[in-house]
Amino acid sequence: MIQSEAPDHAPLEVRPRETRRSRTVFGLILLAVLILLPLSRPLIGGPFNYVMQIVTIALMWITLATSWNLIGGYAGYISLGNNVFFGIGGYVGGTLLVYQGWSPFLTAPLAGLLGMAVGVIVGLITLRTRGPAFIIATIALLLMASLVFDNWDLVGGANGLSLPLPDWPRQWVRVPFYSAMALTALASVLLSWKVAHSKLGLGLRALAQDETKAEVLGINTRRYKIIAYALSAALPAVAGSIWGYFLTYLRPSVFFTISIAAQMVLMAIIGGRGTVAGPVLGAVLLVGVNEVSVAQFGSSELNIVVTGAILLIVLLFFPLGIVGSLRSRRRLPGFLDWD
Amino acid sequence: MIQILILGLLLGGVYALMASGLTLLFGVMRIVNLAHGALMVVAAYVSFFLFTELGIDPFLSLVVTMPTMFLVGVVVYRWLFTRLEGTDRYSEMTVLLTFGLALVIEGLLGYFFTGIFRSTSPGYATNSFIVGDLFIPRGQLYGSLTSLALILGLWLFLNFTKTGYAIQALTQNRTAAQIVGVNVRRVSTLSFGIGMALAGAAGSLLSYLFTFFPGQHWQWIALLLSLIVLGGLGSLAGAVVGSLLLAVLAAFVSNWLGSTWSPMTFYLALFIILLVRPQGLFGEKETV
């Protein structure tokens, strides 16, 4: 066929200046809110710690969903076990605190590096397959990790490990966690943006569409995939380290459950996988939905039903997610167009 | 030694039944059904209540669970999967879809029946035949024999009936099957129903062989998926061989290291097979 085929997506459009400006303005506003929030104690008053907590949780999910998007969105390799790295980070930070007295805030980068290293090793094995077999391997990885941590006496087995409480003044106790989580979330979004705009991101999106063709074009797909997988492991491990300290206990059921994996995937898909803003939007939305649904139903069982049902609806009716659907209709507001 | 082998083989027979439905769905429709375990647990609950409320034996309840699950399968396929037909990355979309389905089922089961561990207890569940110095648990023997009979039935159906040929044709090449006049949608729906009926049968057996609770299906599905990846995705023979092999291996592991670690056998086997032979024992190298 000589006649040239139409590309499946419109060529990169040159964005009008106002789009870029509205995006910058929106970003700056968000940043300002994040910085000013911890100072707003006199303004918010009583519920201050609650607000801090909710925002910290949202920031954690932003980190998890955005990191998942690196492998699950850009590369199109759906991983249903990426919370393994979240858990590993939690346990690295927690055990070093208990046995060595090192603060998880300081050891969080270490946790991130370790998470990345585990990601490379796991990726070397699981990324040998693609499609369904890869997804299966990631589920097995998750159950394997939960089995190991359930039976590892050094870290308390299934009963877990209590961490010493930080001795900070009560009214400010949430702020360090908040700040650390905010930095982590910010780093993950910047990483996601950076990847999207790099040769790596281009290669990943190429192999997501047709791996064989990408390979023929000279992309070292294996290397690209492993890098993406390792990057998607790093920041969740950092977040895990902070989160464990925040909860003041480590337990396999906090980190290694399938429902955490489900939430990560769901957030990225709802927002729009393969986009920078999508997972962030999805995380914020779902944290809100969870808050309401727990308050309404009060039971974790119905919460699981809600998670599953939303996943079904989104897959059947908006498989591109919010950002993706809006973009394909050219209705995406400029401030949400972060790609 | 021989005792462990026997126990492993008996369990392996039941695993083979569970895995055969799963591998059939993948082979025919490229659907990785993550809800398979959850639907098995649903069938186990049906058997449980038939047993406790009406005193119906789990084997007898096969007559109820298999047709019911067949219908559930037909409805689910028509209602959910046909909408996804023709989307790119169909296989991955179905994984996510069944993932959502599994979550919904798990949550509903947990809501209605709570997380209590349950199990039916017909008389044969706990007693054994003694042969020399070996004992053969009766319940597991019956379960295994039933499973093998059902798998044999499936094999005969696939190899000696016209519909069976049509299903095999779909496995080999969907488009070509359509060209030679196979009603793809009808045959797909039928296969999905059969896969679900097998899950239903497995659930009835599960109800007295193991204790079960809503969240347990993840362990089942991970175990079964490991089996079918080992055997080669989509291969019925692979599923049977993989099940027997790993069940025996797991029986030995649980004898050496304690039963906590026996699930590890399946997960590690999965990783080793991915390293050595990613397409599985009976699988063919992926062609794009």
pLDDT tens sequence across A271-301: 998 899 999 999 999 998 888 877 777 667 7
Q: How far apart are CA A114 and CA A85, in angstroms?
A: 9
Check if A139 contacts B (Cβ < 8 Å). yes
Residues in chain B with CB shorter than 8 Å from the CB of A302 are 107, 111
Does some domain include residue B277? no
C-alpha distance across the termini of chain A, in Å: 33
Check if A328 contacts B (Cβ < 8 Å). no
Smallest CA–CA separation between A132 and chain B, in Å? 6
Q: Please give the pLDDT value at position B125.
A: 66
Q: How far apart are CA B205 and CA B17, in angstroms?
A: 10
- DSSP structure string for A81-118: -THHHHHHHHHHHHHHHHHH---HHHHHHHHHHHHHHH
Residue B130 sits at φ, ψ, to 5 deg, of -105, 125
Q: In angstroms, how far is CA A154 from the centroid of its own chain?
A: 28
Residue of A nearest to B262 (CA): A147
The torsion angle over the Cα atoms of residues B86, B92, B96 and B98, rounded to 10 degrees, is 70
Q: How far apart are CA B81 and CA B94, in angstroms?
A: 7
Q: Which residues pair with B131 in a beta bridge?
A: B134
Compute how many other C-beta atoms are within 10 angstroms of the C-beta atom of residue B168: 15
Residues in chain B with CB shorter than 8 Å from the CB of A137 are 229, 270-271, 274
Check if A140 contacts B (Cβ < 8 Å). yes
Check if A131 contacts B (Cβ < 8 Å). yes
Smallest CA–CA separation between A171 and chain B, in Å? 37
Q: How far apart are CA A259 and CA A317, in angstroms?
A: 22
Q: How confident is the model at residue B275 (pLDDT cuts 50, 70, 90)?
A: confident
Does some domain include residue B129? yes
Does some domain include residue A205? yes
Torsion sign, CA atoms A218, A136, B29, B105: negative
Note down the domain range covering A149.
47-256
Contact A133 B278 (CB under 8 A): yes
Q: Which of the listed ranges A159-173, A234-248, B104-118 does the model predict with the highest average pLDDT?
A: A234-248
Nearby residues of B72 by Cβ (< 8 Å), 6 or more positions away: B39, B196
Residues in chain A with CB shorter than 8 Å from the CB of B100 are 308-312, 315
Helix (H) or strand (E) holding A221: helix A221-247
DSSP structure class, residue B33: -
Q: Which of the listed ranges A109-118, B177-186, B273-282 does the model predict with the highest average pLDDT?
A: A109-118
- Residue B13 confidence (pLDDT) above 70: yes
- A-B CB pairs within 8 A amount to 134
Q: What does the buried/exposed string (b/e) look like for A31-45 if buried means 16 or more CB atoms within 10 Å of the residue's CB?
A: eeebeebbeeeeeee
Q: How far apart are CA A288 and CA A278, in angstroms?
A: 16
- Residue B227 confidence (pLDDT) above 60: yes
A-contacting residues in B 87-106 (Cβ below 8 Å): 87, 89, 91-93, 95-97, 99-106
In this prediction, the answer to ipTM > 0.90 reads: no
Does some domain include residue B269? no
B-contacting residues in A 266-285 (Cβ below 8 Å): 269
Averaged pLDDT of chain A: 86
Residues in chain B with CB shorter than 8 Å from the CB of A316 are 80, 83-84, 97
Residues in chain A with CB shorter than 8 Å from the CB of B87 are 319
- Residue B105 confidence (pLDDT) above 90: yes
Residue B32 sits at φ, ψ, to 5 deg, of -95, 110
- Residue A337 confidence (pLDDT) above 80: no
Residues in chain A with CB shorter than 8 Å from the CB of B34 are 139
Does some domain include residue A243? yes
B-contacting residues in A 237-266 (Cβ below 8 Å): 258-259, 262, 265
Smallest CA–CA separation between B28 and chain A, in Å? 14
Domain total of chain A: 1
Does some domain include residue B251? no
Nearest by CB: A133 against B89, B103, B229: B229
pLDDT over 90 percentage in chain A: 35
Nearby residues of B197 by Cβ (< 8 Å), 6 or more positions away: B21, B66, B67, B69, B70, B73
Does some domain include residue B178? yes
Q: Is A17 helix (H, G, I), strand (E, B) or coil?
A: helix
The average pLDDT across A100-123 equals 92
Smallest CA–CA separation between B45 and chain A, in Å? 17
Instruction: Round the CA-based radius of gyration of chain B to a whole number and report it.
Output: 19
Which ranges of chain B would DSSP assign to H, the alpha helix? 2-29, 36-54, 62-76, 82-84, 90-113, 138-160, 162-172, 174-179, 184-209, 217-231, 236-257, 262-276
Check if B267 contacts A (Cβ < 8 Å). yes
Q: How confident is the model at residue B168 (pLDDT cuts 50, 70, 90)?
A: confident
How does pLDDT run across A129-158, given as a tens digit for each residue? 887 888 888 988 998 998 899 888 888 778
Contact A184, A104 (CB under 8 A): no
Does some domain include residue A35? no
Q: Please give the pLDDT value at position A193.
A: 92
Nearby residues of A195 by Cβ (< 8 Å), 6 or more positions away: A70, A74, A201, A204, A228, A231
Residues in chain A with CB shorter than 8 Å from the CB of B96 are 78, 265, 269, 311, 315
Averaged pLDDT of chain B: 85
- Residue B20 confidence (pLDDT) above 60: yes
- Alpha-carbon separation of residue A261 from A35, A65, A181, A298, B251 (angstroms): 29, 10, 19, 21, 30
Residue of A nearest to B288 (CA): A212
Domain total of chain B: 1
Contact B260 A137 (CB under 8 A): no
Q: Please give the pLDDT value at position B137.
A: 81
Does some domain include residue B116? yes
A-contacting residues in B 44-73 (Cβ below 8 Å): none
Contact A302 B107 (CB under 8 A): yes
Residues in chain A with CB shorter than 8 Å from the CB of B235 are none
Check if B222 contacts A (Cβ < 8 Å). yes
Q: How far apart are CA B202 and CA B19, in angstroms?
A: 9
Note down the domain range covering B65.
2-217
Q: How confident is the model at residue B140 (pLDDT cuts 50, 70, 90)?
A: confident
